Structure 1
Amino acid sequence: MYKKRRIERQHLPCFLKVFNGINGKPMGFLGNVSADGLMLISSLPLMVGADFDLLLKTPTEEGPQQDIVLRASCLWCHEDVTPQHFDAGFSLQWAPPEYGQLVSALQQYFSFHSLPASA
């Protein structure tokens, strides 16, 4: 069911920490990201079907970090290939415009661009 993605997700292992939006405690790292959802890599399994407030703390060029708060539903969770780690897939219920900007920036950063042919 989840293999029919409209947009290919970008692979993003262990670059950005994800925190619990309620208590600020670390939950894991972003594994993949798209405009409609994300994958979280965590040391604990997460409850499937539950809604979560997630907090991303992103660096900015100006200096202080930018906090992006998301509301997402956990669609699936299974053990990662790395021992004692779990992958959880989330569907976004609500995200601010800054999340879309983050997705675009990460897609550009992690994409391969062909160079123009030299004459």
Structure 2
Amino acid sequence: MQLLPGSDPIPTPEQRRIPRHQLSAYLAVINSLTGRPFGYIGNLSPHGVMLICALPVMLNEEYHLELHLPEMSAKEYPRVIRFRARSRWCRADVAPGHYDCGFSISHNREAFAGLARALQRYFTFGDFTGA
């Protein structure tokens, strides 16, 4: 069954030259006090983080959190980064049952700033033209 004229119902293989990376699938954040999942990183900067959470968070509260990093070849970062973050905003995500929550980092900012710079370098698209 063709949905559009000239369309092929058989899926075509991925044609990307650069693999897609879904950070939210890898960068899990855990509540340090309970050991339970808190959310996943949606966005990261040297000063703050946006988490995708299953529940809304109370605003202007400080949370004790841990960022669980995947295994990396570079040993410049620990496997777990413990930090405290203050909630600044929270709104419903486009995906039902999820919330986007913004936090400012209140403790261990140096580790976060370094991680943000490393991720920016890793995901920056270089000049592939050879110029």
Aligned residue pairs, count: 107
Q: Work out the CA distance in 2 between the residues paired with 1:27 and 1:70.
A: 13
Contact between 2:52 and 2:99, CA under 8 Å: does it hold in 1? Answer: yes
Give 3-state SS (helix, strand or coil) of 2:120's partner.
helix
Match of 1:24 among 22, 35, 53: 35
Deviation at 1:14, TM superposition (A): 3.1
Q: CA deviation at 1:96?
A: 5.4
SS of the residue corresponding to residue 60 of structure 1 reads: coil
* Alpha-carbon distance in 2 for matches of 1:36, 1:100: 7
Aligned equivalents of 2:110 and 2:79: distance in 1? Answer: 12
* Structure 1 stretches lacking a partner, 5+ long: 1-10
Match of 1:112 in 2: 125
Instruction: Tell me which moved more, 14-23 or 107-116.
Output: 107-116
Residues 62 and 112 (structure 1), Cα distance of their counterparts in 2 relative to 1, 3 Å cut: closer
| 1:80 is the counterpart of 2:93 | yes
Q: Which runs of 5+ in 2 are unaligned?
A: 1-21
Which segments of structure 1 move beyond 4 Å, counting only runs of 4 or more? none
Q: Alignment identity in percent?
A: 36
Deviations 1:15-74 (A, max 9, x none): 3000002122101100000000000001111111110111011133279x6110111100
Q: Larger strand proportion, structure 1 or 2?
A: 1
The offset of 1:13, in angstroms, is 3.3
- Equivalent-residue separation in structure 2 for 1:12 and 1:111 (angstroms): 14
Q: Where does residue 69 of structure 1 map in the other structure?
A: 82
**Are 1:60 and 2:77 counterparts?**
no
CA RMSD in angstroms comes to 2.1
Question: In the TM superposition, what is the alpha-carbon distance from 1:105 to its structure 2 partner?
Answer: 1.6
Partner residue of 1:35? Answer: 46
CA distance in 2, matches of 1:96, 1:49: 18
